[in-house]
Structure 1
């Protein structure tokens, strides 16, 4: 597709202009933020959660963990979510909307924040290479959480910018020991992502990314297929699904197909690896993710179809190890560090309800 000028590119890389809703682009964004923020608020009322586990060098590099209970039976699957941007103030504090789906069905939800924000001041641009490097530390902490909880498997999902960052997180160079941990990954969903950064240098995204030629080469997932395949060399049966909405910008469709073709041949060498390209019919860029709040949604059901078979089978005659989330997860957080003239001051803490139905019978999630 010929891209003639920056205004046309801005339009193509602004998903709010491509939708099937009877709303203005601004209202599409407002609706999306309202949906995910409200659902996250409910998650924080209804589930146990631990906030601000520090994985990187700045106050923005944190993740939260959600569960039905503060104590869990060993073997619970983990669902990891990386949020998008969209010109909104999206972060982990508005991105736990899948908790009703994941926690209510016995899983653990991890929501990862990152530094990319379209609201970032032009005089404080983010370094894409630094963001990707820090996410490597997030991956290590996720593996550590899974190991400490004796998890039966990890499922990962990224949306829009979160899809790009997740694909890079899976494509960084890791030690052989960490690559062995990739066998815990059972499924990956990349939804509406950007996998080639070069065109973004001529868009409004450049205002807060300040992309260099090196950034565009090393941080474009389409260029990292070899390392991605290497990281998954010990993996068994794994689903890797690149997704796009029917009512999405044509550039997202192009990039999804380009990325799919770049990795399929390499990952297909592992006969247990399924690489798929999926289009969500009747949905736009935002609805795909918003609908993860609905248990009956098709995408939700696809995730649960992978997650539920990973749940431990409980027998009343057997005793199962019970693990404290606070005891196992809080020590993984890195210590704070200065970010410019700003100190990381938010205390690591755990919040949420600690008494749930079934507790009187000794049933622990």
Structure 2
């Protein structure tokens, strides 16, 4: 999610992870969950009113937490209301950089580093420079990096700018259950792979490994009798789970030593992953080459050679899945699939088995 923590008082024995938390030898992985809590809302109660064209989403394709926001933005049709800037897959210890853009400068903000947007608001910002981040374009200052709240606000505060046929990703009757599932997944799945991969000793690793796999087994069972996590339709819960699952076989299995078995050997989870990958708005946001480049290159403490593996073969994501056997209303009442992404936002065809032609 981020580069290293910005604090200059860090323990010298601690290695900074790309996820904004310290990794200390002999201790479990501990993610810093303190984010900028400001929200962009319809009533503007935090000083940031919903306004088309005012904010820019900075979201690296390599990052699973940022991947959620790219999916949500696509599904809801917010491309015209919220512009997007995409840093490259690697970064230095200071910040994500806009090295994919011409001149290595974000064309809207004029920044070389996301760090500049943080410092524009907080000159002595002491925490990780994380993605996703929403930046106020007029002031070029960061508004929020609270990845858990951003997609919820996309679904509930930005409704005036949703496309016709946008799905209700956070339906009121299901919110309590979605919130509970999301909280469980955060600790047992989404963040758990990092607790396995960055475990500082054998005992911590084995404990986290067993807890992760127990949770994946629970999801395998849950998906045995329904198409999506909440039933017949896609919700915020699916948006949060997919980025972890799509990274599992190419990264978490080997790089993070979460290697009981590959996800592709678990019929319900794998067919669910294939199903979502083939669904507009999900797979067309995934850049598998950037994902592998990020983890294997940036995590020098885990992979000091920085060699990026060529495998595994992910073309099986395009194989037929069996999820059509379940009752399905993918987009909800009155909902439709999103249009193709804008040409400028299409993933390089060489980086994914899913070939999408842009608008």
Q: TM-score, normalised by structure 1?
A: 0.30
Bigger share in strand: 1
TM-score in terms of structure 2 length: 0.30
Relative CO higher for 1 or 2, CA cutoff 8 Å, sep ≥ 6?
1
